[in-house]
Structure 1
Amino acid sequence: MSEIPASEGSAETADRAESVRLLFARPWDFLIGARSLGDLPPLDRTELAFAGRSNVGKSSLINALTGQSGLARTSNTPGRTRELNFFLPEAEAGLLLVDMPGYGYAKAPKTEVAQWSRLIHDYLRGRANLRRVFVLVDARHGIKPSDETIMNEFDKTAVPYQIVLTKADKIKPAELEAVKADTADRIRKRPASHPTIIATSAEKGWGMEELRTEISAFTSD
């Protein structure tokens, strides 16, 4: 088997890095907050969603990822996000990021919780252009039963997902490695899981380039 010349490999790596840079150098905008299936945008762009327990830091991560501190709404009140919030980069790029309501806790009436839980369920089952869900897990606590519940849903519906550890700066390096090892062991036999685990810190910027690279790969599909 012939090897790729070093110059070609370097050029390809440089092109990929530039593609990632351009995607996240442009402004991102809020498109729509969907409270029902009828509110969802057309199926004409690749969608990548972010899911996680309430207070895991989804909005903070999306803001750090895009370099826009006010793009996704952050709150000290867990469970405040009650819609599927869609964000798109300027000049389209054929991509949407989706901030899903947090699970595991919600300071809202039970009827309202049931309504948006049903919306999430229907979205996951019927969204053909949903290519991956990034499941955010607090690095300080690791995978919780509520995380396992939603991963079971993804496995049943064959929705590919990837674990992203948040708040990695809040624990010691050795503890982070232990959490990563435990997480890898717990997802190893799950059919819809992606094997690569990304450790991030929205506050420190850790893991953002790795996550941006994963996301950028979907713009060339």
Structure 2
Amino acid sequence: MPHHIPALSEEELEEGRRLFAGPCDFFFGAQTIEQLPPPERAEVAFAGRSNVGKSSIINALTGRRALARASSEPGRTKQLNFFDLGGRLSLVDMPGYGFAKASKAVKEDWQRTMFAYLRGRPNLARVILLIDGRVGLKTSDKEVCALLDKAAVVFQIVLTKCDALSPTVLTECVKEVEALAKSHAAAFPHIVATSSTTALGIAELRGIIAQFAEPAIGRP
């Protein structure tokens, strides 16, 4: 197992497999904070720049090809999309950030709305912050890390599209992101390298997310 992936037990990996093998359905879309569904169960939110591969990772985790749909125009998705994992956990697909063509007003509105969600959601267990392994850290990524610190929300950095990187480049990328994580109080220290194409890191990420799920009915 690569050194940058936290060592999960076989039991934890199996729990992740079980959770994501069950039903997963879209159940709510909120364009404003006022529209958010009641905070009934723990939520794990996915954040990342436009084109980071967020939809692909969510689809890879759930084993569904089109559960989360990528917009043809980066930055077009403006709502928080909620998915129910068998009544045990909610996944939240946050709008992408850092889209080059968006106006300053649109970017500020994104930041204001997302910060309100991050700061005020009592059942938000963790944010999975996706970074494109091919392009590395961008200014917008660092700004969102600062936003998460300010909101006091624990976040974990997950690298995407790592199948396109050589082992040497991947190692350097992980080191760079690890250094960033160490500089943020709200950042979880372990970095997970993933690929929605080869399934690299997907089982581990399932296991990590499953730690926040409610116990399955009928099981201890």
List 4+ stretches of structure 1 deviating above 3 A: 13-18, 106-117
Conserved 8 A contact 2:97-2:107 = no
Aligned to 1:8: none
Matched, 1:192 2:186: yes
Q: 1:196, CA displacement in angstroms?
A: 0.5
Report which stretch shifted further, 73-82 or 187-196: 73-82
What SS is found at the alignment partner of 1:48? strand
Matched residue type, 2:169: E
Matched residue type, 2:213: T
What is the alpha-carbon root mean square deviation over aligned residues?
2.0
What SS is found at the alignment partner of 1:135? strand
The 5 A counterparts of 1:49-128 are 49-90=45-86, 92-93=87-88, 95-105=89-99, 113-128=107-122
- TM (norm. structure 1) is 0.87
Higher normalized helix content (fraction of residues): 1
Between the aligned partners of 2:22 and 2:105, the Cα distance in structure 1 is: 39
Equivalences, count: 208
Between the aligned partners of 1:45 and 1:85, the Cα distance in structure 2 is: 15
Q: 1:79, CA displacement in angstroms?
A: 1.1
Q: 1:19, CA displacement in angstroms?
A: 2.2
Q: 1:59, CA displacement in angstroms?
A: 0.7
Larger Rg: 1
Q: 1:143, CA displacement in angstroms?
A: 1.4
Matched residue type, 2:91: L
Equivalent residue in structure 2 for 1:204, among 189, 194, 198:
198
- TM (norm. structure 2) is 0.88
Conserved 8 A contact 2:47-2:93 = yes
